[in-house]
Amino acid sequence: MTRVLSAAALVAVLVFAVWFGPAWATLALGVLASAFAGSELVAMAGSGWRSLVPLAALTSGVVTGVFAIGYGALVSGPWIGPVGPRLSAVLLAAALIGWGGAVSSGAHVPGAPSTRALLFLAPLYVGLPLGVLVWVRAVYGREALLLPIVIVAASDTAQYYTGRAFGRRKLAPRISPSKTVEGAVGGLVVAAMVAALLAPRWLGAAAVMPVRLASPLVAAGVGALLAVAGMAGDLFESLLKRRAGVKDSSSVIPGHGGVLDRVDSHLFAAPLYYLVLRYLR
């Protein structure tokens, strides 16, 4: 029951912010999610890195907000218009330099080199993809933002139920033993079907900047690609948790773990979706 109630609350907040709220509401939600996910990522690295958790939250949130504001037309006017991207570049560089300096200062803390590298890239791994999603809401509209969220959610659900019903062969037994090849295939098929049904309608009807895909077949291909990216993002976070020896990134969401557990698939799918919107017609 706790898991169901938490899921209902998350969906309600997302729909209210994205569908009914203004663009800045999505920005606020994205920055908040980025701050939580970034801090959870660093917290998983071990007690020696706890002092960097607040800075991780700050830098991840800043990167999300800076990308969205600089490139997403959330702020307009005679002054911010011309300098928005430049201001974004400066703030982004400052955030990453400050974060890199803080991580370097903790180099004496025992830990694997891969963990340190990941700590250095945390704002890019978490902050930029979530900034892309906020950018999508600002530039292309609410339908365009909800589309990848629905596709990835449908794929995840199909993977679970298809895997339970038909799963035999393990997809990545050393990283996530519960995932199966059959479940992955089911997720791909459902994602393609959902995209073929929704993408031409939602992207074409976007109030801000409509996107017209060539055909439902192209839309289905986009859906399958987003599903693959989502699976990769999920497996990547599973690998991080396995290295850290934890089941969830945190317990901030009752029954669901942490914010990073909820957005992991989108961190890989968002950059791909960005390319689709910008270059695929």
**pTM, whole model, 2 decimals?**
0.82
Residues 6 or more apart in contact with residue 108 via CB below 8 angstroms: none
Task: Find the range with the poorest average confidence among 19-28, 37-46, 76-85.
Answer: 76-85
- Residues 110-146: tens digit of each pLDDT: 444 355 555 666 788 899 889 989 988 888 888 999 9
Distance CA 100, CA 117 (A): 10
The Cα–Cα gap between 235 and 175 comes to: 7
Query: Residue 179: which H helix or E strand, with range?
Result: strand 176-180
Q: Which DSSP helix (H) or strand (E) runs through 176?
A: strand 176-180
What is the average pLDDT value for the chain, to the nearest integer? 80
- Residues 98, 99, 100, 105: is their CA dihedral positive or negative? positive
The string of pLDDT tens digits covering residues 204-237 is 766 566 677 768 899 999 999 999 999 998 988 8
90 pLDDT higher than 70? no
Mean pLDDT score, 271-278? 86
Which pLDDT does position 185 carry in this prediction?
Answer: 95
| Spatial distance between the Cα atoms of 130 and 133, rounded to a whole number of angstroms | 5
* pLDDT reported for residue 84: 45
Torsion of CA 28, 34, 39, 45, to 10 degrees: 180
pLDDT at 29: 95
Q: Other CB atoms closer than 10 Å to residue 83's CB: what's the count?
A: 11
Helix (H) or strand (E) holding 171: strand 170-172
Looking at the predicted structure, is the pLDDT value of residue 254 above 50? yes
Instruction: Quote the CA–CA distance of 122 and 185 in Å, as a whole number.
Output: 30
In this prediction, residue 210 carries a pLDDT of 66
Q: What is the pLDDT of residue 56?
A: 83
**Overall average pLDDT of the 7-13 stretch:** 87
State the distance between the two ends of the chain, measured CA to CA, in whole angstroms: 43
pLDDT for 107 equals: 43
